[in-house]
């Protein structure tokens, strides 16, 4: 019988998802191979066969990799194949078939099909009959190849081996000096056959609980196992017939194809397992519990130890029946965020509160390196609360839940759990920034009650940041907070404003807040402001907290379903954030009586420069009411206002109005890498 013709590209057009592999057969040949399987219900353990095969080949090819998911151990030849029903007989028959047919120069395809028929009675069981064929054929080949190798190795130094060589393989003596090249080529072929066989092993052992054998990707992979098996057996036949020749290599492409199919199967299984674990965690965390221990154990899986604030290992049950805040972030959480949260955390003791914070780092395990490890360790060292022992402590299904249910994307969040493990708020950081420990137990209901009880005042925004504010208010001074990055504007604005205050004989205090993400650019500006005594100037932590507080207020209001048209606080916050996003400066004037006026920097400066036009009005109405009235009359024929908000769990504000003209703003997406 002629050797089978691989399928051509024209006959494979329906398989457009696969490459034109030269090792694939047409339907007729595929059916001929499949028809050799005649089941008799026999179940065979192939592990001992694999072990003996390994022990033969590893002496011949020291670097060969025959490990197959733990099936083959490193023990010596202690296996008794006679204890395995039918295996010894099958090996003997295959050895005879190879020796007899190949010594007579028989047709390789006919011999290959004969071996298929010899093994036809083995049960498919879990689709392992192909595996049995591959392993037993390779084992039989190992007998022949092993004998050849022993004689070739010893014939030049051992008289007995030389005599055997003369009787069995006289060509060895003649070509003893040139055998190394053939051995190298043959070793490469054997390694290729082993690689393909390992793929077949893994495919036949895939847990069918998570993937169906009748559906892609497993069904596609299984459809090609018998073809791969054919080529393994065929090459064994050819190698045995002419053991010193190098045959055509088909195994590389077979291995590559099976490997890709195997990867798809494992991806499918991993996804199924992930969904199963996700559903389990979702049920657990949404089911009332006696305490929070089961929830915490589900989050950390097998990781039973945590690091306490002193960096000592403790059992997770130290958090049992406590209020726990799960601080969730990636490794880009800022030191400012940690320092501000630390202030609130340490104040809990003096406030008589019993809650703990636990850091949950969300990291990509596949790209982890020494740099990430160093960053992880640094963050651990500056946190004064509980942290994980290892970066991979959090279960993948929990990470999926954190992203999908709690909305974590990039910005840190703090999920609050009560002592029974119930989620009180999916992100309590906003209320912690705004109200501190007075918002305990940091529930959504508590947050809503605060917004209902507390009106918008500048004190809510800067009360904890500017320690001099109570004194200034008690002295009935006007307080001015301003920002910008143009030194020329800053000097003109501060000089003009002080002149207006002197003319009206009112006290004024000015504080430079600057822009949110311009730390490096404004260092020089801050130094000049202090040097020239133009005004007070905040340090980095206060600046960060001021803008973060505004964003937290916006997030908190949005989380509770407030829309800008009917919420004064949200309107004010959006206006302030719009000022920071613009290229120009901004100004807010405030008095203890609650009077406040704000505007962009250029508009305020031009109004101060034309003070003589509204000086009389200011003396009649007061500084802030007169300034507000004057600003309302200033019409800017052109303005460009931007509002840049951080990504927040995929939540997009429904409608944003321009702080200058009140018209709806156009929505665009900005991807920024540089914080400056």
- Cα separation values, 536 from 342, 463, 509, 531, 631, Å: 26, 16, 8, 11, 25
Q: CA–CA separation, 630 vs 625, rounded Å?
A: 9
Decide: 486 and 512 in contact? Cβ < 8 Å: no
Q: What is the pLDDT of residue 46?
A: 56
Q: What integer pLDDT is reported at residue 574 of this predicted model?
A: 77
H or E segment to which residue 395 belongs: none
Residue environment code for 639-654, b if the CB has 16+ CB neighbours within 10 A, otherwise e = eebebebeebbeeebe
- Residue 382 makes CB contacts below 8 A (sequence gap 6+) with 335, 338
Check residues 370 and 249 and name the one with the higher pLDDT.
370
Q: Which two tokens stand for residue 143?
A: 């007998």
For 288, other C-beta atoms within 10 Å of its C-beta total 7
Is residue 111 predicted with pLDDT exceeding 90? no
Note whether 509 and 472 are within 8 A (CB): yes
> Residue 314 burial by CB count (10 A; 0-12/13-18/19+): exposed, middle or buried?
middle
Residue 211 vs residue 240, higher pLDDT: 211
Nearest to 649 by CA among 379, 463, 403, 457: 403
CB 442 within 8 A of CB 353: no
Give yes or no for a cis peptide into 603 (omega within 30° of 0): no
pLDDT over 90 percentage in the chain: 24
| Helices 601-609 and 487-504, packing angle to 10 deg | 40
The two beta strands, 508-512 and 478-483, are: parallel
Residues 6+ apart with CB under 8 A from 145: 60, 186, 190, 239, 240, 243
Is the pLDDT higher at 626 or at 220?
Answer: 626
pLDDT level of residue 118 (50, 70, 90 thresholds)? confident
Give the Cα separation of 119 and 87 in Å (integer). 10
* pLDDT at residue 570 tops 70: yes
Is 138's pLDDT higher than 70?
Answer: no
Q: What are 348-389's pLDDT values in tens digits?
A: 988 889 899 999 999 988 888 899 999 999 999 999 999 988
Q: What angle do CA 326, 327, 332 make, to 5 degrees?
A: 155
280 vs 402: CA distance, rounded Å: 14
Distance, CA of 587 to CA of 630 (rounded, Å): 15
Residue bearing tokens 């095969």: 53
The answer on pLDDT for 463 being more than 60 is yes
Task: Say what the pLDDT of residue 124 is.
Answer: 34
State which of 89-93, 127-131, 261-265, 531-535 shows the largest mean pLDDT.
531-535
Residue 353 contacts residue 446 (beta carbons within 8 Å): no
Sheet with strand 413-417: strands edge to edge: 355-361, 323-329, 413-417, 423-425
What is the rounded distance in angstroms from the CA atom of residue 236 to the CA atom of residue 193? 9
Distance (Å, rounded) from C-alpha 422 to C-alpha 441?
A: 12
Burial state string for 536-566 with b = 16 or more CB within 10 A and e = fewer than 16 = bbbeeebbbbbbbbbbbbbbbbbbeeeebee
Q: Is 427 exposed, middle or buried (0-12, 13-18, 19+ CB in 10 A)?
A: buried
Q: Where are the alpha helices (DSSP H) in 383-486?
A: 396-404, 429-435, 444-453, 458-462, 469-474
Question: In the prediction, which pLDDT does 16 show?
Answer: 40
pLDDT, one tens digit per residue, over 401-449 is 999 999 898 889 999 999 999 999 999 998 998 889 999 999 999 988 8
Q: Does the CA dihedral 388-389-391-393 come out positive or negative?
A: negative
- Inter-residue long-range contacts of 406-410, CB under 8 Å, 24+ positions, other chains counted: 406/328, 406/649, 407/648, 407/649, 407/650, 407/651, 408/328, 408/362, 408/649, 409/647, 409/648, 409/649, 409/650, 410/330, 410/332, 410/646, 410/647
Residue with tokens 């997009």: 652
For residue 452 the two structure tokens come to 């209902």
Q: Is the pLDDT of residue 258 over 90?
A: no
What whole-number percentage of the chain has pLDDT above 70? 62
- Of 530, 523, 536, 515, the C-alpha closest to 468 is 536
pLDDT of residue 268: 77
pLDDT at 68 over 60: no
Q: Residues 206-231: what's their mean pLDDT?
A: 74
Q: What is the mean pLDDT of the chain?
A: 74
Sign of the CA dihedral running 634, 638, 642, 643: positive
Q: Give, for 423, the enclosing helix (H) or strand (E).
A: strand 423-425
pTM over 0.75: no
Alpha helices for 20-176 (secondary structure H): 27-34, 47-60, 87-103, 108-118, 129-154, 159-168, 171-174
Q: 639 to each of 486, 582, 631, 645, 660, how far by Cα in Å?
A: 18, 10, 15, 20, 8
CA–CA distance, 573 with 570 (Å, rounded to integer): 5
């Amino acid at each position: 019988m002629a050797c089978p013709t691989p399928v051509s590209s024209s006959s494979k057009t329906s398989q457009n998802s696969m490459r034109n592999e030269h090792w694939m057969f047409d339907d007729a040949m595929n059916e001929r191979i499949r028809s050799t399987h005649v089941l008799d219900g026999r179940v065979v353990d192939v592990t001992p066969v694999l072990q003996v095969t390994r022990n033969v080949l590893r002496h011949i090819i020291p670097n060969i990799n025959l490990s197959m998911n733990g099936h083959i151990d490193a023990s010596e030849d202690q296996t008794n194949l006679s204890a395995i029903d039918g295996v010894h007989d099958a090996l003997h028959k295959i050895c005879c078939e190879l020796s007899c047919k190949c010594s007579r120069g028989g047709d390789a395809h006919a011999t290959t099909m004969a071996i298929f028929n010899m093994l036809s009675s083995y049960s498919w069981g879990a689709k392992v009959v192909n595996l049995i064929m591959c392993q037993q054929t390779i084992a039989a080949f190992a007998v022949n190849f092993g004998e050849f190798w022993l004689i070739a190795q010893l014939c030049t130094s051992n008289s007995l081996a030389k005599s055997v060589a003369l009787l069995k393989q006289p060509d060895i003596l003649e070509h003893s000096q040139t055998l190394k090249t053939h051995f190298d080529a043959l070793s490469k072929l054997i390694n290729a056959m082993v690689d393909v066989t390992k793929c077949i092993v893994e495919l036949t052992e895939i847990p069918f609980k998570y993937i169906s054998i009748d559906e892609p990707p497993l069904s596609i992979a299984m459809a090609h196992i018998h073809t791969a098996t054919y080529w393994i057996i065929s090459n064994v036949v050819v190698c045995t017939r002419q053991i010193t020749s190098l045959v055509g290599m088909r195994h590389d492409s077979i291995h590559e194809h099976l490997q890709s199919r195997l990867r798809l199967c494992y991806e499918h299984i991993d996804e199924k397992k992930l969904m199963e674990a996700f559903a389990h965690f979702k049920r657990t965390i949404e089911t009332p519990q006696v305490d929070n221990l089961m929830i915490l154990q589900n989050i950390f899986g097998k990781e039973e130890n945590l690091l306490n604030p002193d960096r000592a290992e403790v059992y997770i049950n130290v958090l049992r029946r406590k209020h726990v805040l799960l601080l969730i972030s990636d490794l880009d959480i800022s030191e400012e965020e940690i320092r501000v949260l630390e202030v609130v955390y340490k104040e809990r003791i003096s406030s008589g509160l019993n809650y703990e914070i636990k850091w949950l780092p969300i990291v990509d395990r596949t790209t982890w390196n020494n740099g990430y490890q160093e960053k992880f360790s640094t963050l651990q060292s500056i946190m004064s609360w509980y942290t994980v022992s290892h970066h991979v402590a959090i279960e993948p299904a929990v990470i999926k839940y954190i992203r999908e249910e709690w909305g974590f994307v990039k910005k840190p969040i703090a999920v609050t759990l009560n002592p029974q493990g119930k989620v009180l708020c999916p992100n309590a950081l906003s209320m912690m920034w705004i109200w501190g420990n007075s918002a305990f137990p940091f529930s959504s209901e508590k947050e809503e009650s605060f917004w209902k009880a507390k009106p918008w005042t500048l004190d809510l925004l800067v009360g904890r940041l500017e320690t001099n504010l109570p004194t200034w208010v008690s002295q009935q001074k006007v307080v001015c907070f301003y920002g910008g990055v143009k030194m020329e504007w800053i000097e003109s604005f501060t000089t003009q404003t002080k002149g207006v205050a002197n003319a009206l004989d009112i006290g004024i205090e000015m504080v430079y807040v600057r822009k949110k993400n311009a730390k490096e650019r404004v260092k020089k500006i801050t130094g000049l402001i202090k040097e020239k005594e133009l005004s007070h100037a905040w340090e980095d932590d206060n600046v960060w907290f001021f803008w973060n507080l505004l964003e937290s207020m916006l997030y908190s209001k949005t989380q509770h379903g407030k829309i800008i048209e009917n919420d004064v606080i949200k309107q004010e916050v959006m206006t302030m954030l719009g000022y920071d996003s613009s290229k120009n400066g901004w100004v807010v004037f405030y008095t203890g009586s609650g009077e406040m006026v704000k505007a962009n920097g250029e508009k305020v400066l031009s109004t101060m420069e034309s003070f003589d036009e509204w000086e009389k009005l200011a003396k009649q109405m007061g500084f802030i009411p007169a300034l507000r009235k004057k600003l309302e009359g200033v019409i800017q024929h052109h303005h460009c206002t931007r509002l840049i908000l951080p990504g927040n769990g995929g939540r997009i504000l429904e409608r944003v109005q321009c702080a200058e003209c009140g018209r709806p703003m156009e929505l665009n997406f900005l991807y920024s890498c540089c914080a400056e």
